[in-house]
Structure formats: C-alpha cells, structure tokens
C-alpha cells in the first residue's frame, strides 16, 4: 500500500539527507503517484554591511539564514562597472574578512560593487540575497580625485600626484595619508567610522601646489627592496567634502631605479658593436632595455641577468647612438616603471675618417679613453657628420 503521510517540519524524517534531522522549513506539497513530494525553503541571508577594520582588511557581515543546520555561504562580489570583474569566496560563518590585496586584484577599490550571498544547507539552497552600490569609502564619486600615481624613487622617496575630480568643491584642501602594513595594524571596533580610521594614518607633509591646489606630495622612503612593505594611500580633504580615494600597492611594484651608466661602447669584428653598463644598486633579477639607433635603423633589446651585450648592426657605416634603461624584473616585483634612459653614447660608422674602437662619453675628456685625440667625439651631436638625407626616427621608445 502506498503511504501518503506528511510530516511536521519539527519531526525527524528517516532518510533525510541531513542524517534524519528535521527539514529547514515547509514550503509546499505536490502529490505524485500517491507520494507527497515536500519542498523545503531556506531563507536567504539579509542586511549585508561592509567596513574597513583597518586599511588592509575589509569585513563583511550579514544576518544568517534561519535554519537548524549550519549553512555554507557562497559569496560573489562584482564590479558595478564591469560584471566580468568578480571575486568569490565560501564561508560557514555569517561574516567574511578579506585582505585588501585580494580585493584590489579583482576589483577597483574606488568603484561601487554588488554583493550576492547564497546559503546552502545539506543540498537545499536559499534564494540569493543581493545588495548593490556598495562602497568601501562612501561619497560622491565625482568629487574623488583621479589620475592618482605614486612612484618610489628607489631607496630615496615616494612621490604621488593626482588631479581634481569633476565636481571638486571650492577651496578644497587635499590631504595625502598613508599606511604601511605590518604586525601592528590593529582592528578598530565595529562601531568605528571611516573617519576614525583615517585618523590612524601618517600624513605626507611635503606638498606641492599647482594653481593653488595641492596636487602632489612626496615623503622619504629609504628602505631596500627586501624590507619594503605593502602600502595604502588615501587622498581626502579637511572638511570631508570629497569622497576618499583609495590606492593600494606593494612598494616594490612602484619602484623606479636610477638610470644606468654606459661604461664603454666600441666596434668588434663582423660589424658587431659591444656595449656594457653599470647600475647602482645592482640586484640579480634586473631587466635592462638597450635601444640602438641610427638615422636608417633602430632596434630595442631586452637583457636579463647581465650588464653587457654584443649587437650586430646592419649598417656599420652609419653613426650609431645607444642608450640603456632598467627596471625590476618579474622575479623581484611587478614593477610598473622603467628608469629614465641613460645618457646617449655615440659611435661614428666605420667609414668615418677617424675610426675608433672605444668611445668616450660625449661629455668626457679623451684622457679617460683609449683613443687618439683626433678620434674623440665632438661635444655636440650637431657637430657629427650625419648624412644630408637623414630622416627623423620613428617608434623611438620614450
């Protein structure tokens, strides 16, 4: 005989996926061939809140689903501007702590974002709870600064610049605050506001005004690469009339090294040109870029783990110029910046009257090189005997 018994939601159910425990809540009944199929409803989470516990940790919290089991929450964060930019996580708690580093890799810290949370309990899923237009720093986006850039001039100082937002309030007085990540970064109480957190930052003091506005600031940062830390920057103002702009980076990723110095440049056999250079400080894992050009030909070469190279040039009768720059390679950091180019060195072609083998820097005296006085280079590039039909170079790296 086919049974048609409905169970109360608080009664144990033999064979229930949770090992015989009571279902979550009753939703509806459907009769099929004498059986009652029972649908159970898991309420969704509710009331999501977000706050910065410190400048390197973000805390999310929500009201848990009402269930007599422990749900697993699937959390999806999406950019409001680009839905393809997402990050996901899973937790058993009705809260989540994320490092600012993880958020910054997937989302823009200054964009609005949406959050979707779905509870799953023993195979039963809740409806997704969605909250849109969430912000890490509240305020009108059009008041926030733009084009924010920071460069660490290695072992010297960090220089940051920015531009005013589209709706900049009159008489705005920008402030640049920064934090270093270390073990002393405590967490403020849940009741703390963003302004309380901003008061824990160090303010940059060496501002430089442009047209009466503070649009940049620099401060000493004399660490070496092994001791440099993660940094968080915030541009705000005295009156809280602009939306704070957040910028996270590892110091090494914004490092800019000093320009290399070319030590020597000369012709070898078979139309080869040899160049070597020095850089201070030197680290294994640096990447160099060598730009070689004449009026009729140019080429850029990448060099790793070395400070010299031999170059085969197709036109050995041309006058050639060479310059070098350097950056941290991917083995050290995801560096954004090349150094400035070195000073150019110039070597006349082999058909010139005064053939040379080692070339002094244009600003050096000949007593510092292995060449005859007549072979030394002129003080000015304009004094060289360039072809009369020479054309400007194209695609020269900046």
- According to DSSP, the β-strands at 255-256 and 146-153 are parallel
Mean pLDDT of 344-366: 55
* Block residue for tokens 């969704």: 44
Mean pLDDT of 90-94: 91
Mean pLDDT of 350-366: 44
Q: Which one has a higher pLDDT value, 129 or 151? A: 151
What burial class does residue 146 get, using C-beta atoms within 10 Å of its C-beta: 0-12 exposed, 13-18 middle, 19+ buried? middle
pLDDT digits (tens, 9 = 90+) for 305-347: 889 999 988 877 788 899 999 999 888 888 889 999 999 999 8
Question: How many Cβ atoms sit within 10 Å of the Cβ of residue 221?
Answer: 21
What burial class does residue 292 get, using C-beta atoms within 10 Å of its C-beta: 0-12 exposed, 13-18 middle, 19+ buried? buried
Predicted confidence at residue 377, as pLDDT, reads 34
**Residues linked to residue 309 through DSSP beta bridges, in sequence order:** 275
With beta carbons less than 8 A apart as the criterion, state whether 256 and 337 touch: yes
Return the DSSP state at 50.
E
pLDDT digits (tens, 9 = 90+) for 210-226: 888 999 999 999 998 88
The distance of Cα 368 from the centroid of its chain, to the nearest Å, equals 44
Q: Which domains does the chain have, with CATH numbers?
A: 1-41 (no CATH), 46-134 (2.60.40.10), 141-255 (2.60.40.10), 260-383 (2.60.40.10)
Mean pLDDT of 156-169: 94
The pTM is what? 0.74
- According to DSSP, the β-strands at 72-79 and 286-293 are unpaired
With beta carbons less than 8 A apart as the criterion, state whether 97 and 42 touch: no
Residue 31 in this model has a pLDDT that exceeds 90: no
Residue 165, C-beta contacts closer than 8 angstroms, at least 6 positions apart = 141, 142, 143, 144, 145, 146, 242, 243
pLDDT digits (tens, 9 = 90+) for 168-189: 888 899 999 999 998 666 778 8
With beta carbons less than 8 A apart as the criterion, state whether 204 and 176 touch: yes
Q: Which one has a higher pLDDT value, 227 or 68? A: 227
Q: Which of 27-31, 231-235, 346-350, 370-374 has the highest mean pLDDT?
A: 231-235
- The SS3 call for residue 374 is helix
Residue 29 in this model has a pLDDT that exceeds 70: no
Q: How confident is the model at residue 352 (pLDDT cuts 50, 70, 90)?
A: low
């Amino acid at each position: 005989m086919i049974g048609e018994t409905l169970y109360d939601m608080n009664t144990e159910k033999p064979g229930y996926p949770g090992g015989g425990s009571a279902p979550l809540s009753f939703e509806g009944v459907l009769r099929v061939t004498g059986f009652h199929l029972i649908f159970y409803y898991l309420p969704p989470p509710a009331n999501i809140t977000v706050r910065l516990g410190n400048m390197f940790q973000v805390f999310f919290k929500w009201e848990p689903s009402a269930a007599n089991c422990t749900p697993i929450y699937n959390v999806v964060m999406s950019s409001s501007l680009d839905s393809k930019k997402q990050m996901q996580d899973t937790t058993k708690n009705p809260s989540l702590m994320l490092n600012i580093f993880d958020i910054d890799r997937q989302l823009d810290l200054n964009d609005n974002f949406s959050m979707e949370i779905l509870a799953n309990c023993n195979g039963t899923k809740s409806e997704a709870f969605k909250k849109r237009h969430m912000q890490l720093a509240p305020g009108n986006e059009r008041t926030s600064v733009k084009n924010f850039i920071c460069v660490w001039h290695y072992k010297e100082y960090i220089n940051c610049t920015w531009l005013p937002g589209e709706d900049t309030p009159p008489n705005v007085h920008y402030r640049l605050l920064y934090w270093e990540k270390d073990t002393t970064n405590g967490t403020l109480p849940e009741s703390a506001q963003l302004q309380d957190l901003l008061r824990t930052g160090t303010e940059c003091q060496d501002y430089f005004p442009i047209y009466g506005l503070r649009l940049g600031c620099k401060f000493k940062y004399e660490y070496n690469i092994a001791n440099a830390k993660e940094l968080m920057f915030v541009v705000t103002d005295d009156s809280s009339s602009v939306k704070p702009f957040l910028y996270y980076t590892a110091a090494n990723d914004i490092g800019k090294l000093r320009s290399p110095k070319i030590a020597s440049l000369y012709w070898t056999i078979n139309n080869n040109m040899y160049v070597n250079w020095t850089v201070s400080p030197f680290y294994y894992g640096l990447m160099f870029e060598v730009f070689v050009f004449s009026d009729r030909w140019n080429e850029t070469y990448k060099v790793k783990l070395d400070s010299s190279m031999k170059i085969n040039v197709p036109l050995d009768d041309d006058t050639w110029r060479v310059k070098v720059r350097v950056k941290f390679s991917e083995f050290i950091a995801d560096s954004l910046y090349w150094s400035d180019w070195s000073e150019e060195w110039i070597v006349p072609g082999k058909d010139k009257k005064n053939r040379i083998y080692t070339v002094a820097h244009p600003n050096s005296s000949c007593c510092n090189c292995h060449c005859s006085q007549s072979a030394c280079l002129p003080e000015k590039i304009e004094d060289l005997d360039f072809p009369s039909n020479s054309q400007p170079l194209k695609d020269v790296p900046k």
